[in-house]
Amino acid sequence: MLDPKRLRTELDEVARQLARRGFILPTDRIRELEAQRKSLQVRTQELQSERNTRSKSIGRAKAAGEDIQPLLDEVASLGDRLKVAEAELEEVQAALQQIYLGIPNLPDTSVPDGSDEEDNREERTWGDIPRFDFEPKDHVDIGEALSGLDFDAAAKLTGSRFVVMHGPVARLHRALTQFMLDVHTSEHGYRETYVPYMVNSDSLYGTGQLPKFAEDLFHLEDTDYYLIPTAEVPVTNLVRDVILEADQLPCRWVAHTPCFRSEAGAYGRDTRGMIRQHQFDKVELVQAVRPEESFDVLEQLTGHAEAILQKLELPYRVVTLCTGDLGFSSAKTYDLEVWLPGQGRYREISSCSNFLDFQARRLKARWRNPETGRPELLHTLNGSGLAVGRTLVAVLENYQQADGSVAIPEALRPYMGGVERISPP
């Protein structure tokens, strides 16, 4: 959520910045509601004040043994007037809140203008795109030849966009997870964290998935529980309603969780293979930091995710998302895109974002600033480090051999019992 004070004082400027990402701010409506809010709030508080002082004097009179009936008659209508005023105020505030919760974050000035991923800005590339002296297959063919990926079985068990993994491929998937967790905990200073895979709606409001993106989520019937679309939700919500001391920052968490996404509106996109699944595993990096540090931390955090790709020797590029591709809560996002020989192009494997105080305001996530002595909003960031399923895809495709086997990246071999390659049975 944006700062309501800023929406009052700099409404047109905010609207201009939001227009960069194609969001039309209803400025007239906001101005109208804010004017109503102001007068209603003043009136309500005056009535409350009157109630308080009169009630206190009744208390005093009663204690003094005086007749309080005349005083009671005086306040007879006050309660009703107050109730009306409070109800009106609440209505206006709810209307404002509804608008405010639907406003995306402001894009940082360094974010390029654009409408979709075509306009994302490439920052750098790493690694050499592999050349094959045979026609490279995609992970579906490779995985099926290895008897390691079974999409038909998953379709039977559940439906489309799920996968069953077997044998060495399943182990490779697990190895990737362990490897990522180990690197982030031992080399990058993150604290390993285990969280629920279901969260309540408060948590989803906190990180910004609700109220706008309910259709992307799996909701458990007759409950307030949702399957998490990313570990970002439970992990970032650790700081909800918390005031951290300065020496507790930065907080760095790494969590491995499955992620569940309905992929509503993705009909027909990436239907083949495990690029786009309803359930996939991800190792997520989350940080809560001092405001002045967040942009530096974004660079570091992106580097932490890149380190995994580098250790796995997977070629990738880094792009800055343009205003039109930016996520709802993010002020700036770097995507890491890994090279997939089966598709002959780069595909997103990590998304690293700085949310500034946007999530923190919804979460009431604060820290005590020693300079002011006051609780102030902190900044939150997160990034995939990495999406495990897509990393498996990238390993299978980039390390495939002419004979249908797949070499195991050096860094993963300790996690694979020393196995150097996996071959079709």
Q: Is 48 in the site for RNA (CB under 7 A)?
A: yes
Interaction mask 370-399, RNA, x per CB under 7 A:
----xx------------------------
The one among 9, 27, 49, 186 contacting RNA by CB under 7 A: 49
With CB under 7 A as the contact rule, which of the stretches 20-28, 38-46, 289-297, 334-342 interacts with RNA?
Answer: 38-46
First to last CA, the chain: 54
Is residue 95 a contact residue for RNA (CB under 7 A)? Answer: no
**CA dist 356 → 25, 322, 380 (Å):** 20, 17, 6
Catalytic residue among 261, 347, 361, 362: 261
Q: Does 125 bind RNA (CB under 7 A)?
A: no
Which one of the listed residues 348, 368, 413, 421 is annotated catalytic? 348
Q: Residue from 10, 16, 32, 42 that binds RNA (CB under 7 A)?
A: 42
395 touches 172 (CB < 8 A)? yes
- CA distances 333 to 31, 121, 259, 285, Å, are 31, 11, 20, 14
Active-site residue, 8 included? no
- What is the spatial distance between Cα 260 and Cα 231, in angstroms, rounded to a whole number? 10
Are 5 and 30 spatial neighbours (Cβ–Cβ below 8 Å)?
A: no
Cβ-based nearer residue to RNA, 4 or 404: 4
Nearest CA among 46, 44, 37, 39 for reference residue 4: 37
Crossing angle of helices 388-398/167-186, nearest 10°?
120
Q: How many CB atoms lie within 10 A of CB 258?
A: 16
3 state SS of 47? helix
Q: Does 78 help bind RNA (rule: CB under 7 A)?
A: yes
Residues 6+ apart with CB under 8 A from 76: none
Binder to RNA among 6, 16, 29, 62 (CB under 7 A)?
62
- Tell me: does residue 51 bind RNA (CB under 7 A): yes
- Residue 196 within binding range of RNA, rule CB under 7 A: no
In the complex with RNA, which residue's Cβ is closer, 53 or 186? 53
User: Least Å distance between CB 257 and RNA?
Assistant: 17
> Please, which residue, 89 or 289, has the CB nearer to RNA?
89
Q: Which span (71-79, 178-186, 261-269, 292-300) binds RNA, by CB under 7 A?
A: 71-79
Binding status of residue 362 toward RNA by CB under 7 A: no
Q: How far is the CB of 42 from RNA (least distance, A)?
A: 5
Residue 220 beta carbon to RNA: minimum distance, rounded to whole angstroms: 13
Listing DSSP states for 237-298 in one string gives GGGTTEEE-GGGPSEEEEEEEEEE---TT-TTTT-STTSS-SEEEEEEEEEEE-GGGHHHHH
Size of the site for RNA (CB under 7 A): 30
Give the nearest distance from C-beta 22 to RNA in angstroms. Answer: 29
The yes or no reply on residue 219 touching RNA (CB under 7 A) is no
| Binders of RNA in range 240-279 (CB under 7 A) | 243
Q: Are 335 and 313 a contacting pair, CB within 8 Å?
A: no
Which residues, in sequence order, are CB contacts of 285 under 8 Å at separation 6+?
A: 184, 188, 190, 252, 253, 254, 301, 304, 305, 352, 382, 383, 384, 385
99 forms part of the interface with RNA (CB under 7 A): no
Active site residue 50: no
Q: Catalytic: 351? A: yes
348 noted as active-site residue: yes
What minimum distance in Å lies between the beta carbon of 369 and RNA? 10
Residue 103 φ then ψ, to 5°:
-90, 125
Q: Give catalytic status of residue 317 as yes or no.
A: no
Say if residue 185 is exposed, middle or buried (CB neighbours under 10 Å; 0-12, 13-18, 19+): middle
Taken in order 272, 276, 278, 283, is the CA torsion positive or negative? positive
Which residues contact RNA by CB under 7 A?
4-5, 38, 41-42, 44-46, 48-49, 51-56, 58-60, 62-63, 68, 72, 75, 78-79, 243, 366, 374-375
What positions carry a catalytic annotation? 261, 276, 348, 351, 390
